[in-house]
């Protein structure tokens, strides 16, 4: 979350960086926040003076009782105290209202892009920084994954629609086993890389959703259980990062690294068209998420290391892929910098995102009140970094399409110890 301190000290820089993101109304919103901040500080000054006055009157009463014995003045002083306390109560209420309103306005502001993020207005302006090779064109006999899962009875979309609705598929037989194999492979790889395997709740309260930036930005995209005011998580990041809400971490413990497998839930309101067909976009899907709590001086090195790690997973699976550095206009609400890893669907002739790896800098930690003590014992905000390693539906789709043959679908060698079979036929 952008802080009032940032706006106070360099308002123009904040506006310019938000403008780079495509938030063209940033100046009006920042000016509103600045005005509210000045008014709030004015109320705080009034309240401080009033408190000082109350203390002075209270001290005077004590002096008169114990030294002078002038009881006749007590009535006037008590009357003054009563008036001052009523004014104090009104000012405290007014201050609270301003603080709430200011927080609501600050929550509307996305993170500012890192200086190295390329300028752009849409996904078309993202930079391709790596690609494995020129991918071949699909052969006429090759099938899309939605035809392959039907042919080999791996995933049933109609059955999922019957049970729940569109976007909730049922995985069956070797399809379910391949799904489980991918989850176990990703978790084992993460453990070997020093991540703590964590199984968090898949429901969070509103405080947790605000703390990691899902609310209010994605309120319409999350499944909300209104009776209990709980939200189904869109990613394990939300629950895992909130483990450290209101915490002060010892500097020697950094970085803290967690890996969590969970089902993920996204309403994806407004999504339609060919790009959502099959496993391309679902309302419920499985994902292994990596979360790091980092020292601010090291977070970008950690981001690059996490990118390299996720890239290695895709390479082990033998899939053609590319890495994008997202432009300012395509950044997520909380991110300061993001890399996407996309695998190639030859049959669909399109790229499928399987991992998004981001540095949020202090955006989440400020909301979380997540800090560490530096060598001078000063309390400082930490950085948060996370990434998918990996999201399963599109990985599964790419595997089925890439490894299909006339006699069946081969299983990558690294997955065979997990599946117990080498081929789907």
Element (H, E) at 354: strand 350-361
What is the token pair recorded at 278? 């099959």
Helices 11-21, 26-63: axis angle to 10 degrees equals 140
Picking from 418, 352, 388, the residue whose alpha carbon sits closest to that of residue 264 is 388
268 is annotated as contributing to ligand binding: yes
DSSP labels, 71-130: GGGHHHHHHHHHHHHHHHHHHHHHHHHHHHHHHHHHHTPPPPPPTTSPP-SSGGG-EEEE
266 is annotated as contributing to ligand binding: yes
**How far, rounded to the nearest angstrom, does the alpha carbon of residue 4 sit from its chain's CA centroid?**
21
- Residue 275 per-residue DSSP state: G
Q: Would you call 266 helix, strand, or coil by DSSP?
A: coil
356 is annotated as contributing to ligand binding: yes
289 is annotated as contributing to ligand binding: yes
Picking from 241, 390, 238, the residue whose alpha carbon sits closest to that of residue 306 is 390
Q: Is 162 left (phi over 0), alpha (psi -120 to 50) or beta?
A: alpha
Q: What is the largest CA-CA distance in the chain?
A: 106
251 is annotated as contributing to ligand binding: no
**How far, rounded to the nearest angstrom, does the alpha carbon of residue 403 sit from its chain's CA centroid?**
33
353 is annotated as contributing to ligand binding: yes
Return phi, psi of residue 266, to 5°.
Answer: -140, 130
Binding-site residue ranges for L-serine? 235, 266, 289, 386
Task: Enumerate the known binding-site residues.
Answer: 235, 266-268, 289, 353-356, 386
The binding site for ATP consists of 266-268, 353-356
């Amino acid at each position: 979350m952008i802080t009032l301190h940032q706006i106070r000290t360099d308002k123009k820089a904040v506006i310019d960086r938000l403008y780079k993101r495509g938030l063209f109304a940033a100046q009006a919103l920042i000016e509103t926040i600045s005005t509210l901040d000045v008014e709030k500080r004015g109320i705080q000054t009034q309240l401080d003076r009033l408190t000082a006055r109350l203390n002075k009157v209270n001290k005077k009463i004590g002096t008169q009782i114990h030294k002078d014995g002038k009881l006749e003045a007590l009535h006037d002083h008590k009357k003054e105290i009563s008036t001052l306390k009523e004014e104090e109560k009104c000012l405290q209420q007014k201050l609270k209202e301003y603080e709430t309103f200011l927080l609501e306005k600050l929550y509307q502001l996305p993170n500012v892009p890192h200086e190295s993020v390329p300028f752009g207005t849409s996904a078309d302006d993202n930079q391709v920084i790596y690609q494995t090779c020129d991918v071949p064109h699909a052969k006429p006999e090759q099938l899309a994954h939605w035809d392959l899962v039907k042919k080999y009875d791996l995933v049933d979309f109609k059955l999922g629609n019957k049970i729940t609705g569109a976007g909730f598929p049922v995985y069956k037989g070797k399809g379910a086993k391949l799904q489980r194999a991918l989850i176990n492979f990703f978790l084992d790889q993460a453990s070997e890389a020093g991540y703590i395997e964590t199984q968090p709740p898949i429901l969070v309260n509103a405080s947790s959703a605000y703390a990691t930036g899902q609310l209010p930005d994605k309120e319409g995209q999350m499944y909300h259980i209104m009776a209990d005011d709980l939200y189904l998580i869109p990613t394990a990041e939300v629950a895992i990062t909130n483990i450290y809400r209101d915490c002060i971490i010892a500097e020697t413990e950094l970085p803290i690294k967690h890996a969590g497998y969970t089902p993920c839930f996204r309403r994806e309101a407004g999504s339609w068209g060919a790009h959502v067909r099959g496993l391309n976009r679902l309302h419920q899907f499985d994902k292994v998420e990596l979360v790091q709590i980092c020292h601010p001086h090291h977070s970008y090195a950690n981001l690059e290391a996490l990118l390299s790690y996720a890239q290695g997973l895709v390479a082990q699976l033998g899939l053609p892929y590319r890495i994008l550095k997202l432009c300012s206009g395509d950044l997520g609400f909380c991110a300061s910098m993001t890399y996407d890893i996309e695998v190639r669907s030859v049959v669909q002739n399109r790229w499928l995102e399987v991992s998004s790896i981001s540095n949020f800098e202090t955006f989440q930690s400020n909301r979380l009140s997540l800090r560490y003590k530096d060598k001078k014992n000063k309390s400082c905000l930490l950085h948060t970094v996370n990434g998918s390693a990996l999201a399963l539906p599109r990985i599964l789709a790419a595997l089925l399409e890439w490894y299909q043959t006339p006699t069946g679908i081969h299983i990558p060698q690294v997955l065979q110890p997990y599946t117990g079979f080498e081929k789907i036929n």
